[in-house]
Structure 1
Amino acid sequence: MPKTSGSYSTSDLSRKSGDIIAEALRHPVTITQRNKPRLVLLNIEDYQRLMKQSDRRAVGTIETMPDELFSEFENAVETYANEDEVGRS
């Protein structure tokens, strides 16, 4: 099976670590084990960017949602439901 650029086996990692690290500095590299993706090597800048993006995400519930946003949500659901009923007619 031919290798695609950016994907290496764990055996490749032990034999070609320098080349794989050099490639990972340019773009993410997938490491496979038994033909299944298991790891991704990426440069520190990409890692920090991903971590920064994940920090911006927040988990909440309807109970903690601001009233204004909850109203927008209710209106969107109602609009969708009405459009769905019209579509079924």
Structure 2
Amino acid sequence: MSKSSGSYSTSDLSRKSGDIIAEALRHPVTITQRNKPRLVILNIEDYQRLMMQSDRRAAGTIETMPDELFTEFENAVDGYAGEDEADH
């Protein structure tokens, strides 16, 4: 969010909706309730960009896996293998 983003109270929504929308088309606008930030209004391009960024997934290999995670993975596999053997 840019430093120039505006901030309005929830009561401003009905009184200044046109101004708020016009400003939100340029940059994110914060809506406060009881002096606490509660909502952000932003244009669709910014929203879509945020959604695309939040869907980035990382892929790795066993070789690049952190040791703690590899140990958890090994224990889980061993646990499942043990359960499978106990069922037969």
Query: Is the pair's TM-score, using the shorter chain for normalization, greater than 0.5?
Result: yes
The yes-or-no answer on 1:13 pairing with 2:7 is: no
How far off is 1:5 after superposition?
A: 5.3
The yes-or-no answer on 1:55 pairing with 2:55 is: yes
Partner of 1:40: 40
The yes-or-no answer on 1:66 pairing with 2:61 is: yes
How far off is 1:66 after superposition?
A: 1.6
Letter in 1 for 2:14: S
CA distance in 2, matches of 1:36, 1:42: 18
CA offsets 1:12-56 (integer angstroms, 9 cap, x no match): 111000000000000000000010100000000000000000111
Which consecutive residues of structure 2, in runs of 5 or more, have no partner in the other structure? Answer: 68-88
Which consecutive residues of structure 1, in runs of 5 or more, have no partner in the other structure? Answer: 75-89
The two structures have a TM-score, normalised by structure 1, of 0.64
Letter in 1 for 2:53: Q
The answer to whether the Cα contact below 8 Å between 2:28 and 2:40 also exists between their aligned partners in 1 is yes
Partner of 1:26: 26
Aligned length: 64
Provide closer, same or farther for how the CA distance between residues 9 and 49 of structure 1 changes in structure 2, counting only shifts above 3 A. Answer: same
The two structures have a TM-score, normalised by structure 2, of 0.64
Q: What is the root-mean-square deviation of aligned Cα atoms in Å?
A: 2.1
Structure with the largest fraction of helix: 1
Who wins on radius of gyration, i.e. which is larger?
Answer: 2
CA distance in 2, matches of 1:30, 1:41: 7
